[in-house]
Amino acid sequence: MQQTAPSSTPLEFDALVVGAGIAGLYQLYRLREMGLKVRAFDAAGEVGGTWYWNRYPGARVDSMSYVYQYWFSDELLNEWDWSERFPAQPETERYLNHVADKFDLRKDIQLNTRIAHAHWNDSTRRWTLTTEAGERFAAQYFVSCSGMLSAPVVPPFPGHEKFKGQIAHTARWPESGLDLKGKRVGVVGTGATGIQVIQTIAPDVAALKVFQRTAQYAVPMKNDRYDAAAFAKWREKYPEFREKVHHTFAGFAFDFELPPYRSLTPAERIEALEKLWADGSLSFWVGGFTETLVEEDINEEISNFVRAKIRARIKDPKVADILVPSAYGFGTYRVPLENGYYDAFNRDNVELIDVRATPIERFTENGLVVDGREFELDVVILATGFDAGTGALARMDVRGREGCSLTEMWNKDIRSTLGLQVHGFPNLFTVAGPLAPSTAFCNMATCLQQQVDWVSDCIAFLRKHDKSVIEPTVEKENEWVTHHDEVANATLMMRTNSWYTGANVEGKPRRLLSYIGGVGNYRKFCDEAKDSHYAGFEVA
Ligand code: NAP
């Protein structure tokens, strides 16, 4: 869709959706099916969201393909075969483009358009969104589907303008790609993204310098390939999966199904852990022993199991000392899946640099300096993560009642109601906003669809009852934040510094960004709000 010329009179819609990734595409589809006049926006040049931006080498989904998809159309489910258990970025991007084409969504999506301001008008009771180019759009509902991991964090290393090579953030990877063959490459960051990059490029580059601040407990990924016959077996399970994913802890088709850890003998515990390990998926984490997340001594035993697995893969014990995590417990930082990551450090062309005690000092024209040593590099890859949960919305100038700024509010205290609405911001819906499982503890496809359905049902309710505004009361919001914190503080998650707690962004208020009471429980809270005709919300 073409951009329109800046105008002082906004174009009028019923709803404006920001983001054209998994959530935004489905939100556009649902609202349009309900008969609303909708426009969606995305800063990217194509649809796909995360799967458009994160096109770095090795980018891959780590939810199983057969549950990382839309459930709303049987026709779509029947015509799309996934080729792998964990598909690579291009396949997922193709799928989302296919969905956009099949449901003729593109005609209502304005690409290459970043929303700079979103202001609520108390007298017209409408939102006005202004793009960076100055175009204006107004609507009754503003649905943000702008992603929980979409605002990249770039560390402020001094001297980057002097560097003669290339610098690329993994979440802003050039669409035309980056030729790394035979180059001297540095990777900063060893989270889920850095791990995928490192294991993929190690065999191709001349020299790879990995700058690690925090070691990870990565679990091996068992990535089966499917032909049509093999995939048909998964399709048979769709009716079961479609229902089950909404009630498990993390939105997968598996759950915490093991007996209590203490009820097993030591041999039985190891047997259970080995079985989970062999599954090669996130089931080792959110489908294993539920005590992992709450009981310190059990967490330590499971951490030791993983530490031994990692150590056994690395030839040089000194390198293993750096790569094996010790300072925090397994599963309290997002667990990555790996496929050759640890083996990469057995290669002669790969060097691991510990930047925990001696941080990266600066760029020079030739590379990076750590502890006075200059590492000469042609390309520096920043796999340095995101301002998660709040970043995408906080980087927009979102103002609610009486001009209240969402950014200023979240800079002091990150609050929401069910992660879906915020007191003071009527008719703003925050899909993948903070304090819902969709921020981190969920197979995203499950949680985003559940949230989009909640938003759509809420708007349908307002229209049916001739109401125009909905906003959570301050009491309702307090209730949710208190419950969220109680659940979070009963776990080990708050003890670890990572994006989960906002610790990766300087000055960000500390709170577990994601609701950790489970996807099934969260859904009950959302259903209760709907079934009670939005008790605790002001509806006018
Ligand atoms: P991340 O987990 O936040 O990791 C960022 C890395 O950069 C960390 O190792 C961090 O170290 C390091 N870092 C940041 N600033 C640094 C500095 N100044 N000096 C040295 N190191 C620095 O980000 P991510 O790897 O992009 O992953 C974010 C999330 O995206 C994942 O947890 C996951 O949920 C999602 N993801 C999913 C997939 C998938 O499904 N396939 C793939 C990739 C990512 P510290 O830990 O010490 O801060």
pLDDT in tens, 164-186: 999 999 999 999 999 999 999 99
CA 210 to centroid of ligand 1, rounded, Å: 13
Q: What is the pLDDT of residues 394-443, one digit of tens each?
A: 999 999 999 999 999 999 999 999 999 999 999 999 999 999 998 789 99
* Strand, coil or helix: 184: strand
CA 168 to centroid of ligand 1, rounded, Å: 14
Kindly list the protein residues whose Cβ atom lies closer than 6 A to any atom of ligand 1.
60-62, 149, 155, 188-194, 196, 211, 213-214, 334, 355, 359-360, 383-386, 498-499, 504
CB-count burial class (<10 Å; 0-12, 13-18, 19+) for 538: middle
Say which DSSP state 523 is in. Answer: H
| Alpha helix segments (H runs only) across 60-176 | 74-79, 89-102
| Atom 45 of ligand 1, residue of closest alpha carbon | 214
Q: What is the pLDDT of residues 276-311, one digit of tens each?
A: 999 999 999 999 999 999 999 999 999 999 999 999
Residue 517 makes CB contacts below 8 A (sequence gap 6+) with: 437, 483, 484, 487
Q: Parallel, antiparallel, or unpaired: how do β-strands 470-472 and 537-539 relate? A: antiparallel
CA 439 to centroid of ligand 1, rounded, Å: 15
108 token code pair = 């209502």
Answer whether 33's CB lies under 8 Å from 140's CB: no
Q: Name the residue ranges covered by the structural domains of the chain.
A: 11-151+387-467
| Atom 46 of ligand 1, residue of closest alpha carbon | 214
Residue with token string 């939102």: 127
Q: How many CB atoms lie within 10 A of CB 229?
A: 7
Q: What is the pTM of this model?
A: 0.97
H or E, element range at 458: helix 444-464
| Atom 22 of ligand 1, residue of closest alpha carbon | 189
CA 333 to centroid of ligand 1, rounded, Å: 10
What percentage of the chain's residues is helix, strand, coil (to nearest 5)?
Answer: 35, 20, 45
On average, the pLDDT of the chain sits at 97
Distance (Å, whole) CA 511 – CA 62: 25
* pLDDT for 7 beyond 80: no
CA 387 to centroid of ligand 1, rounded, Å: 10
CA dihedral 357, 362, 364, 369 (to 10 degrees): 0
Mean pLDDT over residues 56-83, rounded? 98
| Atom 4 of ligand 1, residue of closest alpha carbon | 191
Distance (Å, whole) CA 497 – CA 480: 24
Architecture of domain 11-151+387-467: 3-Layer(bba) Sandwich (3.50)
C-alpha distances (whole Å) from 534 to each of 52, 145, 168, 450, 526 are 35, 22, 45, 17, 9
CA 217 to centroid of ligand 1, rounded, Å: 13
Which of 61, 341, 355, 384 most suits a substitution to test ligand 1, by most atoms within 8 Å of the C-beta? 384
What per-residue confidence (pLDDT) applies to 6?
Answer: 54
| Atom 35 of ligand 1, residue of closest alpha carbon | 192
CA 538 to centroid of ligand 1, rounded, Å: 39
